[in-house]
Chain A
Amino acid sequence: MSTFIERAKVTCALGGAIVTLSALPKAVPIVHASGGCAGTLSGTYNLASGYKGSGYCGGTMIPTSNIVENDIVFGGEERLEEQIINTVKIIDADLYFVVTGCQVEIIGDDAVGVTHRYRNDKAIVLAANTPGFLGDSFKGYEAVLSTIAAELVEKKDVKEKKTITILGIVPGQDVFYRGNIREIERLLSQLGIKANTFFGDGETIEKIRNYGDASLTVVLSENYGIETARVFEQIHQIPYITTDLPIGASRTDAFLHKIGERLGIEPAEIEALLAKERKYYYSYIERILDIYTDLDFQRYAIISADTNYAFPLTSFLADDLGWIPHIVVIHDDIDDLRKKEYELKFKQLGSETKPKVVFELQAGQLLNHVRKSWKYNQNDKYFDALSPTFLVGSSLEASVAQKLGAGFLPVVFPITNRAVLDRGYTGYKGGLTLTEDIISALVSDR
């Protein structure tokens, strides 16, 4: 049984579905739910995902059936049908996608059935059940993408050896999703690999239709995107692997080796790319050496993140920046087995000190975990304190950083004290950007 959550850093399945659809090229959600769901959930991401905004047809623009009490009593299918017909008439989209809220699922409206009845040549209309009680945003992401994989992506017998599909970077929940995707595409293209990204620059619904020709699905997450990857495996016979989000040089080296080997690319070719990228990377890292060493910018790192970011971020801070990974507090709601597996990742860290890894759903407990992780000062004259510290988390951790006297950079959703456009933290370039942001945070009071 799930438990209550203090300040959950996710929304619900419907929220995840809406933000996923809004991130797809010229796709428009049709929300079958009460009047507030679409605007509220979309609004959460518009603000809390680095002010990403409403976009093409998000926020108050989202078509929705606006179910009221009367529809709860008599059923809302008729209203949905009217809404679908008029949305296609008024809104210009390449893909319409009906998603559902709690109210209509409890009363048993068959939204998927209504949508299927409506299907015709004029427009592509898909549907999935996404009530809030199905779970968190990641569930909505999976529902949308797995429906697209099953019903929109055309079957192809011949696969392109060097085409892969990227999953696991969840729009909105990953504040930097577009920048992150762009750098991964750039790196892969240098090995001659074409990436299907769903959300990247230049994607179209027409291109997504042709994702069936990929030879491999790469899920950049241990927990999210896997359901969709399995649909690609079962329906399109495309196998999948999971890997970590490549943040900075160390993780990107590992990522490119893993993908390259899997696709049968010559090790020498991979090494040549790494050498070229590393040369570039360190020509810029060199710039911070003076300030880093003169002001002793090594820090005890406190990381508060989801599983997509927790290990890659820790690895960047420890392996690239040379910080001491002290404690990692992870807020995903996953089962014990997956927690254990995830913890093992931290053994790979180059740092002699391995961090304490804690799974904690309640946002308010971070400070307690940090305090418990270090001995108390018993009024000793000489006390080896947990200091200097730096906290990488979400904007919700701002006050904890203040209480700890720690440096602070929000990197994980929600982010409300930074604006994010095309910034990304993946790859070598992302590592440089993250370094820039961290050092800027340390000198910003000057």
Chain B
Amino acid sequence: MSKLTEGLTYDYLSSEAAPTREARIETCNAFGGSCNSLRTGMGTGCSKNNSRKFAQGGGCQLNLALGIVSSFQNVVVIIHGPLGCGSNNLGRAGTRKTARILKQRPTTTDTIWIQTNLDDTDVITGGIEKLRQAVLYAEQEYRPDAIIIGNSCLPGIIGDDIDTLLNELDGQIAAKVVPIHCEGFKSKYVATGYDSAYHGVLKKMVEPIQRYEKALPNELADSNEKYRHSKIVNLFNVGSTSYGDEVELSRLLTALGLEVRVLPLYSSVEEISRISEAALNISICATHDDYLLGHLKERFGTEYIIDTLPIGIKNTNQWLRVIAEFFKLEKEVEKLIAIETAQLEEALEPFKKVLKGKSVFVGGGETRIFTTGELYQSLGMRVVGLKPHNFDRFAIPMIDSIDDQEAVIDVAPGQPAEELVILSRLKPDLYVGHAQANAWITKLGIPTVPLFGQSFNYMGYSGAFELARKAARVLKNTSLSQKIVSNVALPFRPIWFESNPFDNIKEAKV
């Protein structure tokens, strides 16, 4: 039930892998212009095949796919590939512990991953035998509930048939064996990784709920249960949501009398298998989970809400209203919104005074940056530019929320070279950006706020307060970025700062 997914279908499980985002939805990752010209560009479809003359590192869908599944409880992830694929787990060593402690999940075991360590011999002979040994090792050493295998570029190109092996092993060992086809070269859109992960999850981990005839029927108990089930909602968390976000959004939904289950990150395999047991599936971010929610609707008939991202007052209100409408709680939600916004507006006053008239640039995931920009705008700031990593149908309605329709848009996964030239001209008072972007901006002398973070709250009303508070605090002392700009060099030739960064984008040949 969403305008954003109109015309999309989700019946792909008979295929080995999920389709790529470029095949499934029209999407763009190279575009330079303004809000206005982006709307036109998307409308004519001319932006989808653009590419770059000078490119920098974006992401790999394998990391995003395995980032989801490795958060599940008591699973082992196997990366079928050379030692580099999945090595980013080393950088995350220990970070999952914080989330697990907060969510009161077991912390006794580490995140376990295994690499099949494919080498030049395997390029010729295939790596299936190593994969078999790795699965058996995982089963024997860890007795996990699921062993989840991420397939990387190398076996993808040489044609290792992992599905045949994994189907065979699935019946022989206690763990569920789940293949995930997330070869990096297959898609230039890392968001394909979400679909790749959920493709495997839907195929192997989700089961229909078994119901048994009761020996002694009890009408009252039955109707109680039915009523309860009619109020259960699944709230779908994503890699960039925090426990604070989950608490806040659950608080609001609970206030509407709903019973909230937060899925699927950090869930147990058992909880994921029962994912179909809900009256409504609620998305926080369309970019992340339309593949999952769309499929669940087709397979189990579970309705879903895919609307906006609940960051900022306007978008939180909108998100709540759509959900309330589904449950016919229109009156109740207005009461809730009235109380919440009145309290919040009062609390925001002191921050508005500080932030008023200041300019901000936001870079990162498409839905997140537009909603975050809208929030700062509502606090009196000017959004002077946005850099979505990619752009597609899920964010098109959000363009209108930006007051200045001539604000700069650079659709670019990473690509700090382009972004830094733009920022050197716009000179915003504040930059809000994705991880791995903020250090570069600091070198330009611009203070930054991270766009997301495991220990911060961004969503709902409390998230709006936290974001306001954070921006005001950052602006209280900008000494670090000021010192850095005069002491640390960026790696560009002077000529680059004088050029038009959008000349770097090659227009699609029609």
Chain A residues with CB under 8 Å of chain B are 1-15, 28, 31, 34-48, 53-54, 56-57, 59-69, 72, 82-83, 86-87, 89-93, 101-103, 106-107, 131-137, 362, 364, 395-396, 398-399, 413-414, 416-417
- From B60, B112, B119, B121, give the contact of A34 (CB < 8 A): B60
Assess whether B54 is in contact with A87, with CB atoms less than 8 Å apart: yes
- From B90, B119, B187, B495, give the contact of A9 (CB < 8 A): B90
Assess whether A4 is in contact with B82, with CB atoms less than 8 Å apart: no
Assess whether A92 is in contact with B114, with CB atoms less than 8 Å apart: no
Known: A12-B82, A414-B91. A66 touches B114 (CB 8 A): no
Assess whether A4 is in contact with B112, with CB atoms less than 8 Å apart: no
- From B55, B109, B119, give the contact of A83 (CB < 8 A): B55
Assess whether A40 is in contact with B493, with CB atoms less than 8 Å apart: no
Assess whether A14 is in contact with B84, with CB atoms less than 8 Å apart: yes
- How close is A27's CB to chain B, nearest CB, in angstroms? 11
**Further pairs besides A40-B59, A63-B55: 18, Cβ < 8 Å:** A6-B114, A7-B90, A35-B413, A36-B190, A39-B60, A43-B91, A44-B88, A47-B92, A60-B416, A72-B157, A82-B53, A102-B157, A106-B154, A133-B118, A133-B123, A134-B119, A135-B83, A396-B110
Assess whether B53 is in contact with A39, with CB atoms less than 8 Å apart: no
Assess whether A61 is in contact with B154, with CB atoms less than 8 Å apart: no
Within 8 A of A (CB), among B394-433: 413-417
Assess whether A83 is in contact with B57, with CB atoms less than 8 Å apart: no
Q: Tell whether B365 is near chain A: CB-to-CB under 8 Å.
A: no
Known: A61-B440, A72-B157. A36 touches B61 (CB 8 A): yes
Assess whether B60 is in contact with A63, with CB atoms less than 8 Å apart: no
Within 8 A of A (CB), among B114-141: 114-123, 130-131, 133-134, 137, 141
Assess whether B63 is in contact with A3, with CB atoms less than 8 Å apart: no
28 CB contacts below 8 A, A to B, read A2-B121, A3-B130, A3-B133, A4-B130, A5-B83, A6-B137, A7-B113, A11-B90, A12-B85, A35-B55, A35-B58, A36-B184, A39-B59, A40-B57, A40-B59, A40-B63, A40-B84, A47-B90, A56-B491, A60-B416, A61-B416, A66-B52, A89-B493, A91-B491, A133-B123, A134-B120, A135-B119, A396-B90
Q: B33-77: contact bitstring with A at CB < 8 Å (1 yes, 0 no)?
A: 000000000000000000011111111111100000000000000
CA distance A64 to B55 in the complex (A): 6
- How close is A210's CB to chain B, nearest CB, in angstroms? 24
Residues of B within 8 A of A396 (CB): 90, 93, 110
CA distance A31 to B414 in the complex (A): 15
Assess whether B56 is in contact with A62, with CB atoms less than 8 Å apart: yes
Known: A7-B89, A47-B91, A364-B112. A57 touches B82 (CB 8 A): no
- How close is B390's CB to chain A, nearest CB, in angstroms? 12
Which of A4, A56, A91 has its CB near the most chain B CB atoms (within 10 A)? A4
Residue of B nearest to A403 (CB): B108
Q: Tell whether B469 is near chain A: CB-to-CB under 8 Å.
A: no
Q: B86-105: contact bitstring with A at CB < 8 Å (1 yes, 0 no)?
A: 01111111110000000000
Assess whether B436 is in contact with A5, with CB atoms less than 8 Å apart: no
User: Binding site of B, secondary structure by majority: helix, strand, loop or mixed?
Assistant: mixed
CA distance A7 to B113 in the complex (A): 6
Residue of A nearest to B154 (CB): A102
- How close is B79's CB to chain A, nearest CB, in angstroms? 10
CA distance A333 to B238 in the complex (A): 37
Residues of A within 8 A of B134 (CB): 4
Assess whether B110 is in contact with A8, with CB atoms less than 8 Å apart: no
- Counting from the closest, the 10 A-B pairs by CB-CB distance are A36-B60, A12-B84, A47-B91, A132-B82, A39-B57, A38-B57, A86-B54, A4-B134, A57-B491, A11-B87
CA distance A107 to B268 in the complex (A): 40
Assess whether A7 is in contact with B82, with CB atoms less than 8 Å apart: no
CA distance A101 to B417 in the complex (A): 22
CA distance A4 to B138 in the complex (A): 11
Residue of A nearest to B20 (CB): A69
Number of residues in B with C-beta < 8 Å to the partner? 75
Assess whether B87 is in contact with A44, with CB atoms less than 8 Å apart: yes
Q: Tell whether B253 is near chain A: CB-to-CB under 8 Å.
A: no
- How close is A122's CB to chain B, nearest CB, in angstroms? 11
Q: Tell whether B437 is near chain A: CB-to-CB under 8 Å.
A: yes
Assess whether A59 is in contact with B57, with CB atoms less than 8 Å apart: yes
Q: B446-488: contact bitstring with A at CB < 8 Å (1 yes, 0 no)?
A: 0000000000000000000000000000000000000000000
Known: A15-B84, A31-B57, A90-B417. A37 touches B93 (CB 8 A): no
Residues of B within 8 A of A46 (CB): 91, 436
Which of B88, B90, B436 has its CB near the most chain A CB atoms (within 10 A)? B90
Q: Tell whether B212 is near chain A: CB-to-CB under 8 Å.
A: no
Residues of B within 8 A of A89 (CB): 54, 493, 495-496
Assess whether A40 is in contact with B112, with CB atoms less than 8 Å apart: no
Residue of A nearest to B434 (CB): A60
Which of A61, A107, A395 has its CB near the most chain B CB atoms (within 10 A)? A61
Residues of B within 8 A of A13 (CB): 82, 84
Residues of A within 8 A of B142 (CB): 364
Assess whether B154 is in contact with A37, with CB atoms less than 8 Å apart: no
Residue of A nearest to B414 (CB): A60
Residues of A within 8 A of B88 (CB): 40, 43-44, 47
Residues of B within 8 A of A42 (CB): 57
Residues of A within 8 A of B169 (CB): none
CA distance A38 to B92 in the complex (A): 17
Q: Tell whether B492 is near chain A: CB-to-CB under 8 Å.
A: yes
CA distance A72 to B84 in the complex (A): 20
Residues of A within 8 A of B122 (CB): 133
- How close is B318's CB to chain A, nearest CB, in angstroms? 32
CA distance A70 to B119 in the complex (A): 24
Q: Tell whether B81 is near chain A: CB-to-CB under 8 Å.
A: yes
CA distance A416 to B93 in the complex (A): 6
Known: A61-B440, A103-B185. A39 touches B117 (CB 8 A): no
Assess whether A56 is in contact with B489, with CB atoms less than 8 Å apart: yes
Residues of B within 8 A of A34 (CB): 60, 153, 184-185
Residue of A nearest to B120 (CB): A133
- From A93, A131, A364, give the contact of B491 (CB < 8 A): A93
Assess whether B90 is in contact with A39, with CB atoms less than 8 Å apart: no
Q: Tell whether B188 is near chain A: CB-to-CB under 8 Å.
A: yes
Assess whether B56 is in contact with A63, with CB atoms less than 8 Å apart: yes
CA distance A91 to B141 in the complex (A): 48
Known: A106-B123, A106-B158, A395-B93. A60 touches B85 (CB 8 A): no
